[in-house]
């Protein structure tokens, strides 16, 4: 087993993965607080020329302090890696909520949209434009409040003077003027994305969704969409004012906040006033550091078997003492990160997953009880990848953690259902009550 300590943080399992970074669960050993650690390899950042983008993301997260934004605690660095210490958000993605419920009720959609507009308005007041707003970048805390994450494509104040010119974001949520490559107002572009999100919340599907990009761009440019019949007249009117293809006549945030539909049960988000100027000098120091001054990485108890998940991690993973999440494999409810339990040996689990992955036409990479399955997305737009890791949670009892590493989240949902159906021989299906009580006794002994 490998345990890492990053200064005062004890780092555990991987809870997220992207093209250039991994996100790991960690605990502050001084306060007991749970945090998320975004780990980036300096070599990868340099290789892909992403130094300025990563600096920008960290700088923006220091500038913006709002209850509906994932909090940046601090940034650490070693000779080879950068560690961004973030607030640990437990409620999952808003995207998962939409998939689970098919579509959200109007009042619930309005509450999320009100929080979204509030926080976007706050960012714009700081000169920050997100430019990649979508349900996958909207998390939920334990109180079901919105938390914006991933500022990797945002524009800083000094870059936001005049028009922006970088085409970025996820095509289905991007404003037509961004796609035209003729310069755009970051504020108006973010408003458009908020309108698409509101539509998705209430409809359960995208207003603009085509298999080929030229057709998709044409529909976005013409704002060619229609609201389903269950939309109330109020929200129908507001969405059409937001999804106006002309950014000059598109409703602005002030207009949205004065809209009657928006104002129903509206509670203004209160956030503390900043009483100090944000200093960004330490960010440059993090990137310049090559002497390992910030962090001491210590490996303890290195072994050859799968990682052992301790009781604290198990309880945190299951959000308290409710362990149903470990055994709940309803095929209609798949999250971006999900898991199953097996009584088979770790080697049998790995070999079975390898065989199933190859049978699905995926490239399989395996090392130290960690795996990555790679392929091309169904619409052939981008790479699709899934990461897996095997944990020993008790003697002869293993948990396989499965998470999306690249590609579309909806495609991952479809993949996981098919994937699990092929893994039935190794998945343990205990009776629910007996499983929970037996496992709880095991991990708390």
Token digits for 32?
A: 């007991």
Find the angle CA(310)-CA(311)-CA(315) to the nearest 5 degrees.
125
Distances (CA, A) of 182 to 159, 166, 170, 195, 210: 16, 10, 18, 22, 23
Among 133, 144, 148, residue whose Cα is nearest residue 69: 148
Nearest in space to 408 (alpha carbons), one of 216, 192, 211, 153: 211
**For residues 263 and 74, what is the distance between their CA atoms, to the nearest angstrom?**
36
3-state secondary structure of 221: helix
What tens-digit pLDDT sequence spans the chain (445 residues)?
A: 455 888 889 888 887 776 677 888 898 999 989 898 888 888 777 776 777 777 777 777 777 788 888 888 888 888 788 888 888 888 878 888 888 888 899 999 999 999 999 999 988 888 888 777 888 888 888 888 998 887 654 444 444 434 443 444 468 888 888 887 667 778 888 999 999 999 999 998 899 988 778 888 899 999 999 999 999 999 999 999 999 999 999 999 999 999 999 999 998 877 665 545 565 666 666 666 533 444 555 544 445 666 665 544 554 444 433 444 444 443 333 455 577 888 888 888 888 888 888 888 888 888 878 888 888 765 555 677 888 888 887 777 888 888 877 777 777 777 888 888 888 888 887 654 455 555 444 444 4
Q: In the structure encoding, which two tokens stand for residue 293, read together? A: 């001054």
Task: Tell me how far apart the alpha carbons of residues 360 and 418 are, in angstroms, rounded to a whole number.
Answer: 9
The CATH homologous superfamily to which domain 3-88+281-300 belongs is: Phosphorylase Kinase; domain 1 (3.30.200.20)
- What pLDDT does residue 312 have? 45
pTM: 0.66
Contacts of residue 270, defined as CB under 8 A and 6 or more positions apart, other chains included, come to 67
Q: Is the dihedral of CA 301, 305, 311, 313 positive or negative?
A: positive
Q: Is 390 exposed, middle or buried (0-12, 13-18, 19+ CB in 10 A)?
A: buried
Domain boundaries, the chain: 3-88+281-300, 94-263, 307-444
Residue-level pLDDT at 174: 87
Q: Which residue has the tokens 């650490």?
A: 76
How far is the C-alpha of 96 from the C-alpha of 94, rounded, in Å?
Answer: 5
Beta bridge partners of 76: 83
Q: Measure Cα distances from 28 to 6, 167, 240, 303 in Å.
A: 10, 39, 47, 24
Active site residue 132: yes
CB 130 within 8 A of CB 148: yes
What is 307-444's CATH number, 3.30.479.10, 1.25.40.10, 3.30.310.80, 3.20.10.10?
A: 3.30.310.80
What number of other Cβ atoms are within 10 A of residue 17's Cβ? 21
**Burial class, 349, CB count within 10 angstroms (exposed 0-12 / middle 13-18 / buried 19+):** buried
Nearest to 398 by CA among 302, 306, 301: 306
Integer Cα distance of 424 and 437 in angstroms = 23
pLDDT of residue 337: 56
CB 353 within 8 A of CB 362: no
- Of 132, 150, 244, 401, which is the active-site residue? 132
Choose the CATH number for 94-263 among 1.10.510.10, 3.90.230.10, 3.50.50.60, 1.10.10.10: 1.10.510.10
Sheet with 81-87, edge to edge strand ranges: 72-77, 81-87, 34-41, 21-28, 9-17, 3-6, 297-300
Instruction: Judge whether 370 is annotated as a binding position.
Output: no
Distance CA(163)–CA(267), nearest Å, equals 32
Give the model's pLDDT for residue 318. 47
Token reading at 272: 């503390």
pLDDT value for 309: 57
């Amino acid at each position: 087993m490998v345990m890492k300590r990053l200064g005062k943080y004890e780092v555990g399992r991987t809870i997220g993965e992207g093209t250039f970074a991994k996100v790991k669960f960690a605990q502050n050993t001084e306060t007991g607080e749970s945090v998320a650690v975004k780990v980036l390899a300096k070599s990868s950042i340099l290789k892909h020329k992403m130094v300025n983008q990563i600096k920008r993301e960290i700088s923006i997260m220091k500038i913006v302090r709002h209850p509906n934004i994932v909090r940046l605690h601090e940034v650490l660095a070693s000779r080879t890696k950068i560690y961004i210490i973030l607030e640990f958000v437990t409620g999952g993605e808003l995207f998962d909520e939409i998939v689970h419920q098919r579509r959200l009720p109007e009042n619930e959609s309005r509450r999320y949209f009100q929080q979204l507009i509030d926080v976007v308005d706050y960012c714009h007041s700081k000169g920050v434009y997100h430019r990649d707003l979508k349900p996958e970048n909207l998390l939920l805390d334990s109180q079901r409040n919105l938390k914006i994450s991933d500022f990797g494509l945002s524009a800083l104040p000094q870059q936001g003077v005049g028009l922006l010119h970088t085409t970025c974001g996820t095509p289905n949520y991007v404003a037509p003027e961004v796609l035209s490559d003729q310069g755009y107002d970051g504020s108006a572009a973010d408003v458009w994305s908020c309108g698409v999100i509101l539509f998705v919340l209430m409809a359960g599907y995208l207003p603009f969704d085509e298999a080929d990009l030229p057709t998709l761009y044409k529909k976005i440019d013409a704002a060619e969409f229609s609201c389903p019949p269950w939309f109330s007249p109020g929200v129908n009117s507001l969405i059409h004012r937001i999804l106006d293809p002309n950014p000059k006549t598109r409703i602005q945030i002030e207009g949205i906040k004065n809209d009657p539909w928006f104002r129903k049960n509206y509670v203004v988000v209160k956030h503390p006033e900043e009483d100090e100027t944000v200093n960004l000098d330490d960010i440059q120091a993090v990137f310049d550091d090559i002497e390992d001054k910030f962090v001491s990485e210590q490996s303890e108890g290195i072994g050859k078997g799968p990682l052992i998940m301790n009781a604290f991690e198990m309880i945190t993973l299951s959000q308290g003492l409710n362990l149903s999440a470990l055994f709940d494999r309803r095929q209609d409810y798949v999250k971006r990160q999900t898991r199953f339990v097996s009584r088979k040996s770790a080697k049998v689990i790995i070999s079975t997953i390898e065989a199933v992955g190859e049978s699905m036409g995926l490239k399989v990479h395996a090392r130290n009880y960690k795996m990555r399955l790679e392929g091309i997305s169904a619409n052939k737009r981008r790479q699709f990848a899934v990461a897996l890791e095997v944990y020993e949670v008790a003697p002869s009892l293993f948990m396989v953690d499965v998470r999306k590493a690249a590609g579309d989240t909806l495609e991952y949902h479809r993949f996981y259902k098919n994937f699990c159906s092929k893994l039935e021989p190794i998945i343990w299906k205990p009776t629910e009550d007996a499983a929970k009580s037996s496992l709880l006794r095991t991990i708390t002994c």
